[in-house]
């Protein structure tokens, strides 16, 4: 009888935890964050993600809680995921830049401000968003072309407008293609272990080639079982670390 009582209690607690709505979990996370209970805030945000829900704001808040809990690597990974969903969000960029200042990481890209701006602009929108924009412009272009066919050439102004829309479409299509290609060929991740030992092969038997500090953003080059091949483009190093030591962009 006593056993049944405890089983009922445990099931009741589990059911109540499962029954928490997303709104309740968000409130719980924010309250915990305000009290300085960052581990509890992280747990609540993770529960939402485990329910299959997500947004750039959720990843941003999770990044804040991770940073306050001292998990610099996990904070950077969360901000990167948030930025991927809302590349235009200035808050995410500000916090990401601030947290990156705690990591000894060489500056990416060249010092040329135009190149840096280009890199930034390239990541403003996701590949799919750009593709949808390109499709909308493409349909507009098709209607203009149909009008030109039906009107047997139309008026010069319409022809100029059609040419302009064509250029816009080509620009968007090129941008979307470049972004999609980069997304598929250049995957990045963040080291979340305090000191990830990169070995010369995907096994613990291989020698340690170099050691990567927590928070360092690395290129993901491949996977072999539980080992991830990483690259440090600035230094020109390549090595293998355990998959538990890295969080990849999603």
Partner 1 sequence: MEVFKPGMTSLRRIFFSGGCCLCLLAGNARAQDLMISAQAQPRQVMVGESIQLVITIEGRANLSSEPVLPDLQAFQVYGGGRSSNFSFINGQVSSSLQFTYILVPKHSGTFTIGPVAISHGGKTFSTEPIAIQVGSGSVPAPQAPSASQPQPAAPSVGKHAGEAVFITTSVDRHAVYVNEPLTLTFRFFSRLPVLAQPQYGPPATSGFWAEDLPPQRQYQTVINGQEYQVIEIKTALFPTTSGKLTIGEASLAVQVEDFNRRSFDPFADSFFRSFFSTGRQVTLRSEPISIQVKPVPLAGRPADFSGTVGKWSLSAKLDRREAKVGEAVTLEVRIFGEGNVKSVGKPLLPPMTGFKVYDTISSSEVQKQNGRVTGVKTYRTLIRPEISGHLTLPPLAYVYFDPVSEKFEKISVPGLTLKVLPGDTQAAAGGPAVAPAASAPEVQVMSKDIRYLKIKVPLALPQRPVKVVYWILGFGLPPLALLFLWWQQKRKDQLAADPRYARRLAAGRSAHRALQQAQQARKKRDAKAFYALLSQTLTGYAADLIGLSRSGVTQRELLQQLAARGIQADQLDSLAQLLDDCDYARFAPGQPEAGEMERQEKLAEGLLTHIRQVLERVPRT
Contact residues for partner 1, defined by CB under 8 A: 22, 26, 30, 33, 48, 52-55, 57-58, 60-61, 64, 67-68, 70, 72, 91, 94-95, 98-99, 102, 128, 131-132, 135, 138-139, 141-142, 145-146, 149-150, 152, 192-195, 197, 204-205, 207-208, 211, 214, 242, 245
**Contact status, residue 221 vs residue 231, Cβ threshold 8 Å:** yes
- Smallest gap, in angstroms, from Cβ of residue 172 to partner 1? 13
- Smallest gap, in angstroms, from Cβ of residue 214 to partner 1? 7
58 vs 232, which CB is nearer to partner 1? 58
206: which DSSP letter?
A: S
22 vs 109, which CB is nearer to partner 1? 22
- Smallest gap, in angstroms, from Cβ of residue 34 to partner 1? 9
Tokens for 146? 């149909």
120 vs 194, which CB is nearer to partner 1? 194
115 vs 159, which CB is nearer to partner 1? 159
**What are the backbone angles phi and psi of residue 198, rounded to the nearest 5°?**
-90, 120
**Contact status, residue 239 vs residue 210, Cβ threshold 8 Å:** yes
**Residue 232: partners with Cβ closer than 8 Å, 6 or more residues away:** 210, 212, 216, 218, 219, 238
**Contact status, residue 246 vs residue 230, Cβ threshold 8 Å:** yes
- Smallest gap, in angstroms, from Cβ of residue 109 to partner 1? 24
**Residue 55: partners with Cβ closer than 8 Å, 6 or more residues away:** 85
131 vs 161, which CB is nearer to partner 1? 131
Q: Characterise 152 by phi-psi region: left (phi > 0), alpha (psi -120 to 50), beta (else).
A: left
- Smallest gap, in angstroms, from Cβ of residue 220 to partner 1? 19
- Smallest gap, in angstroms, from Cβ of residue 4 to partner 1? 37
186 vs 195, which CB is nearer to partner 1? 195
Q: State the burial class of residue 227 (Cβ atoms within 10 Å of its Cβ: 0-12, 13-18, 19+).
A: buried
- Smallest gap, in angstroms, from Cβ of residue 12 to partner 1? 26
**What are the backbone angles phi and psi of residue 74, rounded to the nearest 5°?**
-65, -35
**Contact status, residue 159 vs residue 148, Cβ threshold 8 Å:** yes
Place of tokens 């990830």: 196
33 vs 175, which CB is nearer to partner 1? 33
Q: Which of 77, 94, 19, 83 is nearest to 55 (CA)?
A: 83
């Amino acid at each position: 009888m006593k056993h049944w009582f405890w089983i009922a209690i445990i099931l009741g607690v589990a059911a109540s935890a499962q029954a928490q709505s997303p709104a309740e979990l968000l409130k719980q996370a924010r309250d915990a964050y305000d009290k300085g209970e960052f581990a509890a805030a992280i747990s609540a945000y993770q529960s939402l993600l485990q329910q299959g829900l997500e947004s750039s704001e959720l990843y941003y808040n999770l990044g804040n809680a991770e940073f306050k809990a001292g998990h610099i690597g996990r904070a950077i990974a969360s901000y990167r995921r948030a930025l991927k969903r809302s590349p235009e969000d200035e808050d995410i960029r500000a916090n990401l830049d601030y947290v990156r200042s705690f990591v000894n990481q060489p500056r990416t890209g060249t010092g040329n401000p135009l190149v840096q701006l280009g890199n930034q602009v390239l990541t403003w929108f996701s590949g799919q968003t750009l593709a949808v924009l390109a499709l909308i412009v493409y349909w507009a272009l098709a209607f203009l072309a149909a009008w030109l066919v039906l009107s047997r050439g139309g008026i010069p102004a319409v022809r100029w407008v059609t040419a302009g829309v064509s250029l816009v479409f080509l620009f968007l299509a090129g941008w979307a293609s470049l972004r999609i290609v980069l997304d598929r060929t250049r995957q990045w991740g963040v080291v979340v272990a305090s000191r990830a030992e990169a070995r010369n092969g995907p096994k613990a038997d291989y020698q340690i080639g170099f050691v990567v500090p927590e928070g360092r953003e690395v290129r993901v080059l491949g996977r072999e079982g539980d080992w991830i091949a990483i690259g440090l483009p600035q230094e020109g190093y390549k090595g293998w670390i355990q998959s538990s030591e890295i969080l990849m962009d999603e």
